């Protein structure tokens, strides 16, 4: 059975790009008589505004989508801790006390998620007084996982090579899991078989595939869809592109909007493109 999901973070209102993503995942499940899941990814520390989750549900309803909701990330912290402990006991995580300023001062290269951490704390003994994050030793994890292939519905067969991320954070200083760890564990727990999301997260799938390998999780397929752009670039919450809630409150017909997006008919100034 095909199981897809839409996994928004309640740190800002949903916009057209989210609608496109949710509709894509919804329709892939519907067309295969599968299931479409909604998962609220609400562990983004102080940026998380739980009250937005209700708005998200109203937005999806307004678009005419039907879904099954699975537990929000904030109710799954134990499973993140358990997985982190397993990786720690296997020597795949190490504590890192560096601050952003430390990392910047080391003048590292830029990767898909910002500066690539140069591995400074790997093999270093920890100063117990400092707050620490836990980072994945990516080289060692790749050796343990062996050849890790994954399949993208649009780009085809891929071999996981997350080295361009450097040693990513799996447990944050301020939260029991990073996005990478939480989303990977949840997709497995929710039985997701087709991870559907925007092309902007294509690179992250290399990390997620590696994590599946070292955690012994089932390997789904992925569908990374193209993204909506306006004149200033990719639509994003922070740029204040009109939100779905604004459109809904303004009396726009959500189902017609959904059908337009399905047919790649976009409002003026909006285009679809790969990242």
What are the residues binding Zn ion (CB under 5 A)?
Answer: 96, 98, 120-121
Q: Is the four-CA dihedral 76, 223, 11, 210 of positive or negative sign?
A: positive
Residues 6+ away with beta carbon under 8 Å from 222 = 150, 151, 152, 153, 194, 195, 196, 197, 205
Q: How far apart are CA 226 and CA 273, in angstroms?
A: 5
Select from ligand GLU, Zn ion, none the partner in contact with residue 98, using the beta carbon and a kind-dependent cut-off of 5 to 8 Å: Zn ion
Interacting positions 198-227 with ligand GLU (CB under 6 A): 201
The answer to whether 183 contacts ligand GLU (rule: CB under 6 A) is: yes
The answer to whether 153 contacts ligand GLU (rule: CB under 6 A) is: no
By C-alpha distance, which of 169, 262, 160 is closest to 203?
160
For ligand GLU, the closer of residues 38 and 171 by Cβ is 38
> Which residue is nearest to ligand GLU, using beta carbons?
197
Put residue 134 in one of left, alpha, beta given phi > 0 → left and psi -120 to 50 → alpha.
beta
Query: Residues in contact with ligand GLU, total (CB under 6 A)?
Result: 7
> Which one of 197, 206, 209, 225 is in contact with ligand GLU (CB under 6 A)?
197
Question: Please, what is the minimum distance in Å from the beta carbon of residue 36 to ligand GLU?
Answer: 13
For ligand GLU, the closer of residues 24 and 119 by Cβ is 24
Whether 234 is a known active-site residue: answer no
Residues 6+ away with beta carbon under 8 Å from 254 = 59, 62, 63, 64, 244, 247, 248
For residue 115 the two structure tokens come to 């500066």
Interacting positions 41-100 with ligand GLU (CB under 6 A): 41
Catalytic residue among 173, 234, 237, 239: 237
H or E stretch at 68: strand 68-69
> Which one of 9, 178, 193, 243 is in contact with ligand GLU (CB under 6 A)?
9
Question: Please, what is the minimum distance in Å from the beta carbon of residue 167 to Zn ion?
Answer: 9
Active site residues: 237
Chain residues in the site for ligand GLU (CB under 6 A):
7-9, 41, 183, 197, 201
């Amino acid at each position: 059975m095909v199981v897809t999901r839409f996994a928004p973070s309640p740190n800002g209102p949903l916009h057209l790009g989210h609608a496109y993503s949710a509709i894509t995942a919804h329709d892939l499940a519907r067309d295969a008589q599968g299931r479409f899941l909604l998962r609220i990814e609400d562990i983004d520390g102080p940026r998380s505004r739980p009250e937005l989750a209700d708005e998200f549900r109203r937005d999806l309803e307004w678009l005419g989508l039907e879904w099954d909701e699975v537990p929000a990330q904030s109710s799954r912290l134990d499973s993140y801790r358990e997985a982190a402990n397993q990786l720690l006991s296997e020597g795949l995580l190490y504590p890192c006390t560096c601050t952003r300023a430390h990392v910047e001062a080391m003048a590292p290269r830029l990767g898909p998620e910002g500066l690539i951490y140069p591995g400074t704390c790997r093999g270093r003994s920890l100063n117990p007084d400092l707050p620490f994050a836990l980072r994945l030793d990516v080289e060692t994890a790749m050796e343990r996982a062996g050849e890790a292939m994954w399949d993208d519905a649009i780009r085809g067969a891929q071999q996981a090579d997350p080295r361009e991320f450097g040693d990513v954070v799996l447990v944050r200083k301020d939260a029991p899991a990073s996005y990478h760890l939480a989303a990977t564990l949840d997709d497995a727990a929710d039985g997701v078989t087709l991870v559907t999301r925007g092309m902007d997260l294509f690179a992250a799938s290399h990390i997620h595939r590696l994590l599946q390998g070292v955690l012994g999780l089932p390997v789904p397929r992925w569908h990374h869809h193209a993204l909506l752009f306006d004149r200033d670039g990719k639509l994003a919450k922070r740029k204040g592109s009109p939100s779905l809630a604004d459109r809904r409150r303004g009396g726009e017909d959500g189902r017609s909007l959904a059908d337009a997006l399905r047919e790649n008919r976009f409002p003026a100034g909006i285009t679809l493109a790969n990242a």
